[in-house]
Amino acid sequence: MITMEELQAAIKLRINDYNDMDFPLQKRAINTCDLLDSHNRILAQDITSPFDVPRQNLSAMDGYAIADGSDLSEGNTIEIIGESQAGSAYTSVIAAGQGVRIFTGAVVPKCCDTVIMQENTNFADIRDTIDKSQPYNITLTQTAKINNNIRAQGEEIESGEAVLKIGKRLNSADISLLANLGISQVSVFQPLVVGVLATGDELVTIGDELQSLAQIYNSNTPTLKSLLSDLPIVIRDYGIIPDNLDKTTAAVHEAMQHCDVLISTAGVSVGDYDFLTTVIETLGQINHYKVAMKPGKPFVFGELNKNLDKPVLYFGLPGNPLSTVVGTLQFVIPALWQMSGATVSEQPMLLTIKARLTNDIRKSPGRKDFQRGILSQDNAGNYQVECFSNQQSHRIKQLSRANCFVVLNKDSSNVIAGSDVVVQPFPWLHR
């Protein structure tokens, strides 16, 4: 049975081949997307700046822009002959020994080579006597240096510079950058099409009425869709498939014609009515089956490739809601970001921190364990975590109450209160 880390590595390796050979990024369809709709989309082309940033020399301070060749020594007097404001630049000639009043962000006149902070002049002493419609004199109370307090043209971004590279997952800061450059549309990779289906005679679609005590609502599909909601994908829902070999085969065959990825929930164990593994082996192959992880041991990673130009990657999740969450977070979401073309640095990480355990927890060696807990901070700001006493994977209320997993290594056993443990906060806790 493969370890969780080995399975993660195997999936990454297969997707590298998928992105390089089976479905190379350079051959994927590209969409033009409005900037305001581009959040979390994957950039398909480098973006270069259409101009310098700043576009001209700008003042970094409120003060005075002083003409080239002026004496900047303490005690020297400068004649102020005008004013430069943000949005209204001073454009007349300024001679040595002269300057203009200037404000933060305003354009520095081309004939000026320094900006003197108003605090380094006698401005405070004379401000009430100044008639701004007439020239007036200021005295330097501190020697100034040439080029001080000027944001030079192009010092942040040069015209033609690549500001964002292909594979960038666009976030709010990127949108701010592009908006500042006046870029209203971007080229992004066309979203992957991800098929989802649930299997089981006992399942009923939310909104329909339960007809017998043997029936339960299909919670896995809504759970899965919610977990995948931040990804740049299009989801095709193939509904609930009954425990029937022919109907399961037909549903999978239909999905593989239209999807890049297929994700199923339930039907991947070894029960008499679990047909998905048989269907996957018929229409493709199973690369890995079963992982040394609790919950989520019967996880399937495979591909559908019969009579297809490119394989459809397949992820088979167990049937209970907790296993769906664990398997999706640990394997499916990282794989989809990688398949989408996001560079390694742009693929969201599952954060882990160290926390002090506040109660004893039980664990048997053999599988990596994800136990639900509540992460908090004590009065000193130290992280602490309390695990629920019952960790059965069918307990759905506990999953809702928890805000983290306590992650216990495969070979570890019982852990006593006061021990430091690894905690993986739920992604929605720090969004």
Where are the domains positioned within the chain? 4-29+190-346, 31-53+156-189, 58-151, 353-429
At 350-378, the pLDDT tens digits run 999 999 999 999 999 999 999 999 999 99
At 184-225, the pLDDT tens digits run 999 999 999 999 999 999 999 999 999 999 999 999 999 999
Q: What pLDDT score was predicted for residue 269?
A: 67
Residue 407's closest CA among 294, 304, 290, 305?
A: 294
Pairing of strands 203-204, 284-289: unpaired
What's the rounded mean pLDDT across residues 119-136? 92
Q: Which CATH architecture has domain 353-429?
A: Beta Barrel (2.40)
Q: What pLDDT score was predicted for residue 273?
A: 52
Residue 114 above 60 pLDDT? Answer: yes
CATH number belonging to the domain at 4-29+190-346, selected among 3.30.2320.50, 1.10.10.10, 3.50.50.60, 3.40.980.10: 3.40.980.10
Distance CA 153, CA 58 (A): 8
Q: What pLDDT score was predicted for residue 270?
A: 60
Distance CA 331, CA 144 (A): 59
Residue 420 has φ and ψ, to the nearest 5°, of -85, 130
Q: Is the pTM of this model over 0.85?
A: yes
CB count in 10 Å sphere of residue 102 = 32
Radius of gyration of the chain (CA): 31
Which residue is listed with tokens 């919610």? 226
What's the rounded mean pLDDT across residues 252-274? 85
Question: Checking phi first, is residue 158 left (phi over 0); if not, alpha (psi -120 to 50) or beta?
Answer: beta
Instruction: Give the rounded percent of residues in the chain with a pLDDT score beyond 70.
Output: 98
CATH domain 58-151 topology? Molybdopterin biosynthesis moeA protein; domain 3 (2.170.190)
What's the rounded mean pLDDT across residues 30-48? 97
Residue 110 above 70 pLDDT? Answer: yes
User: Judging by beta carbons within 10 Å of its beta carbon (0-12, 13-18, 19+), is residue 3 exposed, middle or buried?
Assistant: middle
Q: Which residues contact 403 (CB under 8 A, 6 or more apart)?
A: 373, 374, 375, 425, 426, 429
Beta strands in 154-222 (DSSP E): 162-164, 185-189, 192-199, 203-204, 216-217
| Three-class SS state of 117 | strand
Residue 72's closest CA among 149, 143, 147, 150?
A: 143
Distance CA 201, CA 244 (A): 9
Residue 395 above 80 pLDDT? Answer: no
Q: What pLDDT score was predicted for residue 365?
A: 94
Per CATH, is 31-53+156-189 categorized as 3.90.105.10? yes
